[in-house]
Amino acid sequence: VVDQLRLWQLENERMRTTGGFLFKDFDTPQDYAAVSGYAEEIGVLVWKSDRKQMFFASKHEQLRDYLKSRKKAE
């Protein structure tokens, strides 16, 4: 049992999990930059890659609203 506990701790230390949403397939680099920037601003950005034009956010409601308002403004 002690060994199992130790293994579990070992694994938890070596791996972190965060629930949320992967944002991908942006129409333009400008869209990606704006939305990922907004995600960072409101504190929901967990990971991003400018090269892949993808990011991971812990929440999506505000980002969805932001995207809609951007599309309307075009």
Q: Choose among 31, 69, 67, 72: nearest CA to 50.
A: 31
- Beta strand pairing call for 54-57 and 45-49: antiparallel
Residues in contact with another protein by CB under 8 A are 3, 6-8, 10-11, 14-27, 31-32, 35, 46-47, 49, 52, 54, 56-57, 60, 63-64, 67, 71
The distance of closest approach from Cβ of residue 20 to another protein in the complex, given in angstroms and rounded to an integer, is: 6
Cα–Cα distance for residue pair 72/43, rounded to 1 Å = 24
The distance of closest approach from Cβ of residue 43 to another protein in the complex, given in angstroms and rounded to an integer, is: 16
- Residue closer to another protein (CB basis): 41 or 71: 71
